[in-house]
Amino acid sequence: MNPAGFFEQVKRAWAIAKKDIRIYYFKGPVLIFGVFMPVFLFLAFLMGGRQLPLSFLISGLVGMSLFFTATAVSPAIFPWEGSAKTLERLASCPVTVEAIVFGDMIASTLFGIGITIITVIIGLALGLSLIHGVMLFATILIAACCFSAIGMLLAVPPTNVPSNIMMLSSLIKFPLVFISGIFIPLEQMPPWGLALAVFSPLTYFTDLVRYTFTDTHFFPVITDIAALTVFTVVFTIGTMYLHKRTMPQRM
């Protein structure tokens, strides 16, 4: 066994993910938030009086469910563990910073996927038909990884005060939702809005979800997939690199 080897570190990242799920995600309030959020999103949009068809709404609702759940807890894990000194425990174990970050990403990816599936099920129960099922689940998987990496990027500032990070997180997450074609279809966006939208991974995800339910899309499907994949890779490498630099400042 080479403890520093790739597969050994992935195994240890999985141990960290299981710990996260047990400690941070399998909590009553977190699960209730996760289940109720998609339900209330549907209610708010269906009863909002905007007369938007459910087939349009579903892409935004799935997008918001995944984006908010995959980034809900992960930004606060490092500050929590930093203040409880458990991060020091992890840092003194034979795991790399990359493995710690990857473990946290796995946990938030799984949580995001689980809750988003509830949203999809509600949509199907309301009469929507899924045209490209395999594509939807592949898209959800890639986007969940991407949004988890964003969640971990939000945790990069080396503070051990969770509220500071959560405030920063809200400041970044909400504007991203408004420029990603969730409330205004990409076709109806002004040029400056569209110019901003291309920089949001959520744009490509909602476009892909729309494709899987309605067979319509704004960008070519391959562009959506490629953009989402590039964002995932860049954010994952970026968050691992930055956490490696800021980790000692948390101790």
Partner 1 sequence: MTAIIHASDITKVYGKSIAVDHISFDVQKGEIFGFLGPNGAGKTTTTRMLTGVIPPDSGTATVLGYDIRTEPVLAKQGFGVVPETSNAYTDLTAWQNLMLMGELYGLTHARAEQRSFELLGMVGLLERKDQKVQAYSKGMKQRLILAMALIHEPGLLFLDEPTSGLDVQSTQMILSLLRDLNKQGTTIFLTTHNMEEANRLCHRVGIIRAGKIVAIDAPEKLKMAIDRVYKIEVSFDREVPGDAITGLAGVTGATRTGDKWQIMTENRDATIRSLVTFSQQHYAVIVTLNTLAPSLDDAFLRLTQEAQL
- For partner 1, the binding residues (CB under 8 A) are 1, 3-4, 8-9, 11-12, 14-16, 18-19, 22-23, 84-86, 88-96, 248, 251
Compare residues 16 and 72 and give the one whose CB is closer to partner 1: 16
**Long-range pairs for 39-45 at CB < 8 Å and ≥24 separation?**
39/122, 41/65, 41/119, 42/119, 42/122, 42/123, 42/126
Whole-number minimum distance, CB 28 to partner 1, in Å?
13
* Contact of 31 with 110, CB cutoff 8 Å: no
Whole-number minimum distance, CB 216 to partner 1, in Å?
46
Compare residues 8 and 223 and give the one whose CB is closer to partner 1: 8
Whole-number minimum distance, CB 217 to partner 1, in Å?
43
Length of the chain: 251
Q: Helix or strand or coil: residue 51?
A: coil
Compare residues 92 and 188 and give the one whose CB is closer to partner 1: 92
What is the torsional sign of CA 77, 79, 80, 86? positive
Whole-number minimum distance, CB 243 to partner 1, in Å?
14
Compare residues 17 and 156 and give the one whose CB is closer to partner 1: 17
* Contact of 196 with 186, CB cutoff 8 Å: no
CA distance 1 to 3: 6
Whole-number minimum distance, CB 19 to partner 1, in Å?
5
Compare residues 32 and 88 and give the one whose CB is closer to partner 1: 88
Largest Cα separation within the chain, whole Å, is 61
Compare residues 16 and 61 and give the one whose CB is closer to partner 1: 16
* Contact of 104 with 25, CB cutoff 8 Å: no
Whole-number minimum distance, CB 20 to partner 1, in Å?
10
